[in-house]
Copies of this chain bind each other. A is one copy, B any other.
Amino acid sequence: MHRVDARLSVLLFAVSITPMTINGTAQTLPVRTIPARTLPTPATVSPEMQKLIAPAWDGSTAAVSKTTEQWKALIKQTDEPEAKHAESLATQLHVSVKEETIAGVRVYRVKPETIPAENRNRLLVHVHGGGYVYFGGMAATGEGILMAHYAQTEVLSIDYRMPPDFPFPAAVEDSVAVWNEVIKQHTPRNVALFGTSAGGGLTLAVVIRIKELGLPLPGALMVGTPWSDLTKTGDTYYTNEFVDNVLGSLDGSLEAAAKLYAGTHDRKEPLISPIYGDLSGFPPTILLSGTRDLFLSNTVRVHQKLLQSGVHADLLVFEGQSHAQYLEHDAPECAIALGEVAQFFGRNLDR
């Protein structure tokens, strides 16, 4: 019955709402009101995921204004428990983590206990999430440890420089500098690049940049719920606002992180918001999101742009999950998600 309803709606719309200015520079688009609703915890996910989905978002949409010292204190407070979590994950999964320096950038070499023959010449280069502000140091490694475990492949996790001292483009420059060294030791098509959230956006930005520089590209990408647009552009910034219990809203601390990272740069620059970049010629890419994810539009917009650019791109959307909840190792959905990524790397990387 969808067509009839839709056409009827268009008709009602045409007579009841002032015409839109949709092609001018100042767009005046209609706004709809959605009533308050109750959301049950879905019965269609694991009990462990239900525990993660059930709580309401506990953040605030109030504007954030901090001094440099206040930022540093907040970052320290955020990163310390995350670093401890990463250490305990490494112990639990028998994954080793060793700090190194490559091209002057701190990195962590993350190795699973056993590496099957087909993965011995492969490497997965990781850029962490955390809004381009958080998860420096050992906190950078959590996702890398999980991936080393599930993909049974060595991971190199880049601890790129971050604000307040080092805003954009430090994160891109550090990652590109490491890439430039990695390809001296490895066949580029044996190497994947991956990350989630800010790390997903950074994965895209780094590939745009190494294309510009004429460097060889990775063999495959995982782009997890990428922060591909740092402006409030994209439908699920609104439809999943407050529905997502991890990010809640762009307004508040996420917006503050975007401003701190962009610094004096326009947030629509392609190396900051890669949805505005040229994605043609990209390597095979797998994208991940969830039905409640504030970044679902950030994810599907990139997926469609990749497909329309002729790139092989696979999309996974997980039932009921808010932002990046597929990285929650306590739920069996984590093994499913990263298992699918591992298979994608297995199919698309050379050996």
Interface positions, chain A 115-159, Cβ under 8 Å from B, are 129-131, 133-135, 142
Task: Give the chain B neighbours of A173 by CB distance below 8 A.
Answer: none
List residues of A (299-351) whose CB comes within 8 Å of B's CBs.
300-301, 303-304, 307-308, 314-320, 322-325, 327-328, 336, 340
Chain B neighbourhood of A292, CB < 8 A: 235, 239
How many copies, total? Answer: 2
A44 at the interface (CB under 8 A from B): yes
Q: Are A54 and B300 in contact (CB under 8 A)?
A: no
Judging by beta carbons under 8 Å apart, are B243 and A239 in contact?
yes
Which residue of the partner chain, among B135, B233, B340, contacts A44 with CB atoms under 8 Å? B233
Check B50 against A22 for contact (C-beta < 8 Å). Answer: yes
- The residues in A between 11 and 26 inclusive whose CB is less than 8 angstroms from any CB of B are 12-13, 17, 20, 22-23
Contact A58 B9 (CB under 8 A): yes
Asked if A197 is at the interface of the complex by the 8 Å CB criterion, the answer is: yes
Contact partners of A131 in chain B: CB under 8 A: 1
Shortest CB-to-CB span from A16 to chain B, Å, is 8
Task: Tell me which residues across on chain B come within 8 A of A257, comparing CB atoms.
Answer: 1
A327: which of B3, B44, B196 is its contact (CB, 8 Å)?
B3
Q: How far is the CA of A245 from the CA of B34 in the complex (A)?
A: 11
Distance (whole angstroms) from the CB of A203 to the closest CB of chain B: 16
Q: Decide: A2 and B197 in contact? CB cutoff 8 A.
A: yes
Residue of B nearest to A320 (CB): B235
A98 within 8 A of B: no
| Residues from chain B with Cβ under 8 Å of A51 in the complex | 10, 13, 20
A241 close to B (CB within 8 Å): yes
Q: Which residues of B contact A40 (CB under 8 A)?
A: 29-31, 238
Interface contact B319-A300, CB-CB below 8 Å? yes
Highest count of chain B CB atoms <10 Å: which of A20, A35, A40, A318: A40
Q: Is B3's CB under 8 angstroms from A82's CB?
A: yes
Once the chains bind, are A291 and B233 in contact (CB under 8 Å)?
no
Q: Which of A36, A81, A196, A301 has most B Cβ within 10 Å?
A: A301
Q: Would you give the shortest CB distance from A328 to chain B, in whole angstroms?
A: 6
Interface flag for A42 (CB, 8 Å)? yes
Check if A32 is an interface residue, CB within 8 A of chain B: yes
B-chain residues with CB within 8 Å of residue A81 when the two chains form the complex: 4, 7
Further 17 A-B residue pairs, CB within 8 A, beyond A33-B56, A42-B234: A1-B134, A2-B196, A2-B323, A3-B327, A7-B85, A9-B56, A27-B43, A31-B41, A32-B54, A32-B56, A36-B36, A37-B242, A38-B238, A235-B292, A300-B317, A303-B317, A307-B340
